[in-house]
Amino acid sequence: MQTPHHTPSRWIALASALTLVASLSACSGMTTQERNTAIGAGAGAVGGAVLSGGSPAGTLGGAAIGGVIGNQVDKK
């Protein structure tokens, strides 16, 4: 059986995404819009990392797009 090979950039992207998600729990004083932005950025970072195979550019791009979408959710 062959062991899966994980590149350092994939580990960096995963660690960054996990750090972002873990830090969200410390943001209890945020407004709803700020919280949606942070959640969107975290989800986008994870999605970008998965879709790009752990590419840092894919992770950052996903975070940026997710943050913009999260910021616009429930905007009145």
User: Token digits for 62?
Assistant: 């996903």
- Residue 4 within a domain: no
- Residue 3 within a domain: no
pLDDT at 24: 64
Residue pLDDT, tens place only, 33-53: 888 898 899 899 989 988 998
Name residues of the chain where pLDDT drops below 70: 1-7, 24-27, 75-76
Say which DSSP state 2 is in: P
| Residues 68, 39, 45, 13, CA torsion sign | positive
- Residue 63 within a domain: yes
- Residue 1 within a domain: no
Kindly give the interhelix angle for 8-23 and 32-51, rounded to the nearest 10 degrees. 160
- Residue 51 within a domain: yes
What range defines the domain where residue 62 resides? Answer: 10-20+31-72
pLDDT at 26: 67
pLDDT at 62: 93
pLDDT at 57: 92
Single-letter code of the amino acid located at 4: P
Tally of domains within the chain: 1
- How far is Cα 14 from Cα 52, in angstroms, rounded to an integer? 12
pLDDT at 67: 93
- Residue 55 within a domain: yes
